[in-house]
Amino acid sequence: MSQPIRTYTRIQNQDQTQYPPERVSVNPARFEDEVGLYPITPLAGVKQACEAARQAFPSWRKVPAPLRGNLIYNLGQLVSANKTVLASWLTREVGKPYSEALGSVQEVIDTCQFFVSEGRRLYGQTVPSEMADKRLFTYRRPVGVCGIITAGNFPIAVPAWYVVPALLCGNTVVWKPSEDAPVLSYLFCQLVEKAGFPPGVFNMVLGDGATTGAALVSMVSAGLVDKIGFTGSTAVGQRIGRVAGENLQVPCLELGGKNPLVVTERANLELAVEGALWSAFGTAGQRCTSLGVLIVQERIYEEFIARLLERTAAMVIGDPTDPSITYGPLISKRFLDNLLAFQKNQIQAHHQVLTPTIGQITRENPWPNFVGDPAAGYFAHPVLVGGARREDVLYQEETFGPLVAAVSYGELEEALDWANGHGYGLSSAIYTQDPAEAFYFQENIQAGMVSINNTTSGAEAHMPFGGNGRSGNGSRQSGVWVLDQFTRWQGVNWDFSNQLQRAQIDTIYSPGDLDYRVPGW
Ligand code: SIN
C-alpha cells in the first residue's frame, strides 16, 4: 500500500484527517497491488468544501487574470517536471498503457500552456454605440463556484480541461474525481496546492457518483454551486441537466458516444484499417470518443473486415507497463461487469461475432498474444460484431469497452443515416481520398467532432471538444470555446454626454436619399 490518502476540503489546510480511510484503490492489472486507501467524503464534507469555495470566490475573482495565469503556469511546470511519475501512477491505478498515460499527462501540460496566455487575453470587446459620447464594452465575468465531476478514463487530463480554465477565469472549484483514481487525483491536488492557489480556491471531495457526486449536484439547489461540469453517462447528464435547469443554470455536459467511422471505396484501406483498429481498441475502447459503429461500403466490406480481423488477431493485450501492448485492463471491475452484461444481453442470434470469442480474458478463455497473468486483472477480449440492425441496443447504446458493431452501406447517404441514427453526436471519422465525400460527410454528420483520414479519438488541447444530441448539451471544452462555460458576458454602456440619451428613441436615424416606403402602405 503506497498512498493512504485523506479528503481535502480546502487546499493548504493540510490533508484533513476528519474522514477515516475506508476503501482500497486496486491496480486493475494486478489485484494484489493495493494502490492506496481513501475515504468517502460525506454530505457534510461536500457542503464544507462548497462553502470553502464560496468563501474564497470574492477575493479570487479580484486577482488579475494574468496573475491567475501565473499560477496555472506553475501548475503546468509542476506537472511537466513530474510527468513520468504521474504517468506511472496513472498506469498503475487505472491500467492505461504507459505510453498513453504519458500522453494523458501531456494533455494537462498542454492545457496549462494554452490557458497561461489566455490569462493575458481573456478579451472583452469595445463596441460602437448608436449614440454620440457613449462607449460600449463587454467583459467576461466568472460564474462562481464550479462543481466538477469527472471519469476514470482520463483521470487528470479531462479534469484539467475543466479546472484549468475555470480557475483562470476567476472561479473557485470543488472537484469530485473518479472513484477509480483517488490516488492520482490526490497527487494532482498536491501539485495544485504547490502551484500556490490560495486556500479554498480548489477543493477535492472523494467518493462514487451515486453518493459524493450526487451530494455535489445537490449543492446546486442548496445555492452553493453555480455551475456543474460533468463527464460521464448520458443518463446521469440528463439528471444533472434537470437539476441545473430548475435552478436556471447551464451545466457543461460531456456525455456518451457511439462514434461512427465510415470507410468508403475511395479510402486508403491500409490507413483505414489502422485507424479503425486504434479507434476501436485503443484504451480498451474506454474513451468517450472510441469507435462504436464501423460503417463500411458494401463492395469493400468483406476485404476490409478480413484485414481488420487479421490486425486484431495480431494485437498484444495485457500488462499496461509492457510497451508492446495495444491495450491493458478495463479501468475497474464495474466497467468489466457492465461490458460482460452488455455482451450477454445485447449480442443476439441475428448477430455474427467476427472475432474469435467474447467475454473476459482468463486462463480458460485466453487471448493468444497476452502479456502477464490474465487472472490478475480485468481484461476483456476485443469483439467485432456484424449484422447489427437499427433497433438493436448494440447499435443504439454506448458500450464503453472493446466492442464494436460493423455494418455495410451502399450510398454515402445511407452511411450517414447509420452514423447519425442512434442520436449520439460526439466524435466521428471518415476514411476517403475523395474531397467531395469528405465535405459531404462533415457537413451532414451531427457529431461535434469529425476526423478525415484519422481516428475517432485524439483530442488536442486547443480544439473544441464536445458533443450534440445524446452526447451533450452543445457545451464545448478546450481552447477559447470553454471560456464561455466559465464566464458570463457583461455588457457595459458608459455615457459621458451629460444628458439623458435613450437608446432607439433619441438615436438620430438618417433615412438617407433612398425612399424605402412601400406605396399604398
Ligand atoms: C475522451 O475524453 O474520452 C477522449 C479524449 C480523446 O479522444 O483524446
Contact indicator for 73, 81 with CB cutoff of 8 Å:
no
Q: What is the mean pLDDT of residues 199-223?
A: 96
Q: Which of 10-14, 194-198, 364-368 has the lowest mean pLDDT?
A: 10-14
Best residue among 105, 158, 289 to mutate for probing ligand 1, ranked by most atoms within 8 Å of CB: 289
Q: Is 304 in the pocket of ligand 1 (CB under 6 A)?
A: no
Task: Tell me the backbone φ, ψ of residue 424, rounded to 5 degrees.
Answer: -80, 160
Q: How far apart are the first and last CA of the chain?
A: 85
Alpha carbon of 14 to those of 5, 48, 189, 377: distances in Å? 11, 15, 11, 34
Which residue's C-alpha comes closest to atom 5 of ligand 1?
459
Task: Report pLDDT digits (tens) over 41-63.
Answer: 999 999 999 999 999 999 999 99
Q: Is residue 288 flagged as an active site residue?
A: yes
Q: Which of 41-45, 146-150, 236-240, 241-245 has the lowest mean pLDDT?
A: 41-45
Q: Is 96 in the pocket of ligand 1 (CB under 6 A)?
A: no
Residue 516 has which C-alpha cell? Answer: 424605402
Task: Name the residue among 262, 270, 273, 272 with its Cα closest to residue 298.
Answer: 262
Q: Which atom of ligand 1 is nearest to the CA of 158?
A: 2
Output the CA torsion 168→170→174→175 (10° steps): -10
- Out of 169, 288, 398, 437, pick the active-site residue: 288
Q: Which atom of ligand 1 is nearest to the CA of 286?
A: 3
Task: Name the residue among 153, 456, 106 with its Cα closest to residue 328.
Answer: 153
Task: Report pLDDT digits (tens) over 154-185.
Answer: 999 999 999 999 999 999 999 999 999 999 99
Q: Where are the alpha helices (DSSP H) in 122-268?
A: 157-168, 182-195, 214-221, 234-246
Task: Tell me the backbone φ, ψ of residue 225, rounded to 5 degrees.
Answer: -125, 135
Is residue 15's pLDDT more than 70? no
**What per-residue confidence (pLDDT) applies to 13?**
41
The CA distance from 410 to 505, in Å, is 61
Is residue 419's pLDDT more than 50? yes
**What per-residue confidence (pLDDT) applies to 517?**
85
Average pLDDT, the chain: 95
Q: Where are the alpha helices (DSSP H) in 247-330?
A: 269-281, 301-313
Sequence spans of domains, the chain: 13-255+475-488, 259-464
Q: Please give the sequence-ordered ranges of beta strands (E in DSSP) within 289-381, or none if there are none.
A: 291-297, 317-318, 352-353, 370-371
Q: What is the mean pLDDT of residues 477-482?
A: 97
Residue 482 has which C-alpha cell? Answer: 470553454
Q: What is the mean pLDDT of residues 59-87?
A: 98
Q: Is 154 in the pocket of ligand 1 (CB under 6 A)?
A: yes
Is residue 7's pLDDT more than 60? no
Task: Tell me the backbone φ, ψ of residue 439, rounded to 5 degrees.
Answer: -65, -40
Is residue 491's pLDDT more than 60? yes
The CA distance from 467 to 471, in Å, is 5
Is residue 324's pLDDT more than 90? yes
- How many whole angstroms from 240 Cα to the centroid of ligand 1? 21
Task: Report pLDDT digits (tens) over 136-160.
Answer: 999 999 999 999 999 999 999 999 9
Task: Name the residue among 195, 146, 147 with its Cα closest to residue 171.
Answer: 146
**What per-residue confidence (pLDDT) applies to 339?**
98
Residue 168 has which C-alpha cell? Answer: 483562470
Is residue 447's pLDDT more than 90? yes
**What per-residue confidence (pLDDT) applies to 1?**
44
Task: Report pLDDT digits (tens) over 376-407.
Answer: 999 999 999 999 999 999 999 999 999 999 99
Contact indicator for 379, 361 with CB cutoff of 8 Å:
yes
Q: Is residue 298 flagged as an active site residue?
A: no
Is residue 500's pLDDT more than 70? yes
- DSSP state letters, 383-450: EEEE---TT-HHHHS---SSEEEEEEESSHHHHHHHHHTTSEESEEEEE-S-HHHHHHHHHH---SEE
Task: Name the residue among 431, 453, 427 with its Cα closest to residue 256.
Answer: 427
CATH code that applies to domain 259-464: 3.40.309.10
**What per-residue confidence (pLDDT) applies to 4?**
53
Q: Which atom of ligand 1 is nearest to the CA of 231?
A: 2
- How many whole angstroms from 466 Cα to the centroid of ligand 1? 10
Residues with Cβ < 8 Å from 10, sequence gap 6 or more?
A: 16, 49, 52, 199, 200, 203
**Angle value at C-alpha 370, between 429 and 178, nearest 5 degrees:** 60
- Out of 51, 118, 254, 437, pick the active-site residue: 254
pLDDT band at 485 (very low <50, low <70, confident <90, very high): very high
Task: Tell me the backbone φ, ψ of residue 452, rounded to 5 degrees.
Answer: -115, 120
Q: Specify the CATH class of 13-255+475-488 in words.
A: alpha beta
Alpha carbon of 220 to those of 179, 198, 241, 318, 489: distances in Å? 21, 23, 11, 42, 21
Phi-psi region of 17 (alpha: psi -120 to 50; beta: other; left: phi over 0): alpha
- pLDDT above 90 coverage of the chain, percent: 92
pLDDT band at 5 (very low <50, low <70, confident <90, very high): low
Residue 513 has which C-alpha cell? Answer: 436619399
Best residue among 149, 154, 180 to mutate for probing ligand 1, ranked by most atoms within 8 Å of CB: 154
- pLDDT above 70 coverage of the chain, percent: 96
Q: What is the pTM of this model?
A: 0.95
Which DSSP state fits 33? -
Report which of residues 519 and 355 the model is more confident about: 355
